Structure 1
Amino acid sequence: MFRYHSARKTALGKAFETAELIYHAAVRELRKSNGNAVLGLVIQIVQSLILVLTMYFLFSVLGLRRIAVRGDFMLYVMSGVFLFMTHIKAIGAVAGADGPTSAMMMHAPMNPIISIGGAALASLYQQVLAATVIIFFYHSVITPITIEDPVGVLGAFLLAWFSGVGLGMVFLSARPWQPEAMSIIIPLYQRLNMIASGKMMLANNTKPDMRAIFDWNPLFHTIDQGRGFMFLNYTPRYTSIEYAVKFGLVCLMIGLMAEFFTRKHMSASWNKRR
């Protein structure tokens, strides 16, 4: 009598229903960390602002401003920090999404894909808001800025988020099998990207042997390409948008297949022995 029965819907109706569920899952994800939604968003903005100011003063103290692109130095710092934050936050949000044994999965028509989509969307919303507020404040209060190709910069921003979602899917599918290992690997990868993302350097100015250390990282390619779109005086020669896109797609496909396999075998009793 109390079992959920879905009415027969068209493909378009099912798509709208899924989009609505993802939206509500994203709202729940945003309110989960802080009961006050506005305060939670302010905290995200402050986190990004603190990292921007930290990197600015670090560049100034170490005398690294000479390696930056000719143009607004604060904009150069923000171009690296915002893409870095978007990438690692997407990984953390997706990797920490509700799994098949979560209590939320008992409420039809909820499923893990909706939970993952909601977590990814909430992460993107937070980072877009933080970047928009900080750039608007800097442009209107401190000094006017000019972005050479705003659409290209937005594309690089979304690509950093997309590659983070792909990697997060891989970590999410592996977490039920090795939760202790994933609790170490995920933060380690996020901390490693403080250096491996290449947000403190330009690929064109990096020696080949040093560049080879960072070349595996899709975020390194995305940040460098994003700076090419942002500044008139910089043209990336050693990074590729295609690599970041292919990396994200491959990780997403692997993560989806692994998540489906895990969902078929996952049991709530797995964690009882730990």
Structure 2
Amino acid sequence: MTATPDPMTSETAGPSPGPAPISATEAAALRPVRKTVRLSGIRTIVALILREMTSSYGRSPGGYAWMILEPLLGILFLTVLFVMIGLRSPQLGTNFAIFFATGILPFNMYMEVSNKTAQSINFSKALLSYPRVTYVDAILARITLTVLTQLLVAVLLISAIRGLFETRTVVQMEPILLSYAMAIVLGAGVGMLNCFLITQFPIWQQVWGIANRPLFFLSGIILILEGLPEQYKEYFLWNPLIHVTAQMRSGFYVGYDVVYVNPAYVFGVGLVLGLVGMVFLHRYHRDMLEL
């Protein structure tokens, strides 16, 4: 015989008791989830920056010294070359070193930010498998370290050149900072789009490297726009880096009026490319980690 449940017992038993309520002391000890996640993101970016510093500069001969020597040697080579061919003064001012430095430094900022951003996922692919590390953290870490490094290099080189030579230049921070802001936004935008293309299609890295080589000669580093034939000036203005280098030099040479510089155009190109790159990265970043 099977026992039947007592109807009186089932009716009066009521619902099973739920979990015990949390006391006021226990509730106060709980940490808000949102704040924890936000702090974790900052710590993640700092950790990635430290890892980048160690792997990129700490293990190579010379380390950070090479970051200063590379543009310095480029400036020295161009100065000696132009003196040897008989030129007594550059197209602006009287000193070759400061003339080339004001073109090379913002160009290097763009190139370094672009290249470092483009390799963000490939460089940190092993760490991106952890849930707390995202592709955005990897990109922000590389951009932050690159910008700080290039600004340090610029301060040291410009200070050294102005201390060693009579450059007859006056430093004006507003146009200089605007030039660097354009270089950073443009480099980050190009880099984010290339981050998707290089990771998804590895052959793109070689294609982009070949396409980038003429930029050194087409970006106003050696010849300013005013020194070009009139019929070619309009075409050169399509190159955003012409605007970056001209804006930089306007911060050193008093009276150098760069009316053709269009910051909105440079920022627009950088933001559009960056937005397109972020859309593709957000859509395919999980698939890219498996390549």
With normalisation by structure 2, the TM-score equals: 0.80
Gaps of 5+ in 1: 1-5
* Residue 152 of structure 2 is aligned to residue 118 of structure 1: no
* Residue 190 of structure 2 is aligned to residue 167 of structure 1: yes
Amino acid at match of 1:266: M
* Residue 163 of structure 2 is aligned to residue 127 of structure 1: no
Gaps of 5+ in 2: 1-30
Q: Which residue pairs with 2:45 in the alignment?
A: 22
- Once residues 254 and 205 of structure 1 are traced to their aligned partners in structure 2, the CA distance between those partners, rounded to angstroms, is 35
* Residue 162 of structure 2 is aligned to residue 139 of structure 1: yes
Structure 1 runs (4+) deviating above 6 angstroms are: none
The correspondence for 1:200, drawn from 222, 226, 234, is 222
- Once residues 75 and 164 of structure 1 are traced to their aligned partners in structure 2, the CA distance between those partners, rounded to angstroms, is 23
Deviation of residue 264 (structure 1)?
Answer: 4.5
Amino acid at match of 1:253: L
Q: Which residue pairs with 2:33 in the alignment?
A: 8
Aligned length: 261
Q: Which residue pairs with 2:269 in the alignment?
A: 247
The correspondence for 2:66, drawn from 43, 54, 60, is 43
Amino acid at match of 1:48: P
- Once residues 281 and 271 of structure 2 are traced to their aligned partners in structure 1, the CA distance between those partners, rounded to angstroms, is 15
CA contact (8 A) 1:163 1:248 kept: yes
* Range moving further from structure 2, 189-198 or 13-22: 13-22
- Once residues 159 and 200 of structure 1 are traced to their aligned partners in structure 2, the CA distance between those partners, rounded to angstroms, is 20
Q: CA RMSD in A?
A: 2.6
* Residue 274 of structure 2 is aligned to residue 256 of structure 1: no
CA contact (8 A) 1:67 1:201 kept: no
CA contact (8 A) 2:90 2:99 kept: no
In the TM superposition, what are the counterparts of 1:90-101 in structure 2 within 5 Å? 90-99=113-122
* Residue 108 of structure 2 is aligned to residue 81 of structure 1: no
Q: Which residue pairs with 2:202 in the alignment?
A: 179
- SS in structure 2 opposite 1:56? helix
Q: Which residue pairs with 1:3 in the alignment?
A: none
The correspondence for 2:254, drawn from 232, 246, 257, is 232
Q: Which residue pairs with 1:154 in the alignment?
A: 177
- Once residues 264 and 165 of structure 1 are traced to their aligned partners in structure 2, the CA distance between those partners, rounded to angstroms, is 21
Q: Which residue pairs with 1:106 in the alignment?
A: 129
- Once residues 39 and 46 of structure 1 are traced to their aligned partners in structure 2, the CA distance between those partners, rounded to angstroms, is 9
Deviation of residue 215 (structure 1)?
Answer: 2.0
Deviation of residue 252 (structure 1)?
Answer: 1.1
CA contact (8 A) 1:97 1:115 kept: yes
CA contact (8 A) 2:124 2:138 kept: no
- Once residues 249 and 127 of structure 2 are traced to their aligned partners in structure 1, the CA distance between those partners, rounded to angstroms, is 41
CA contact (8 A) 1:100 1:112 kept: no
Deviation of residue 198 (structure 1)?
Answer: 1.9
* Residue 233 of structure 2 is aligned to residue 211 of structure 1: yes
* Range moving further from structure 2, 196-205 or 136-145: 136-145
With normalisation by structure 1, the TM-score equals: 0.84
- Once residues 241 and 64 of structure 1 are traced to their aligned partners in structure 2, the CA distance between those partners, rounded to angstroms, is 32
* Residue 83 of structure 2 is aligned to residue 60 of structure 1: yes
- SS in structure 2 opposite 1:137? helix
CA contact (8 A) 1:100 1:111 kept: no
Amino acid at match of 2:34: K
Larger radius of gyration: 2
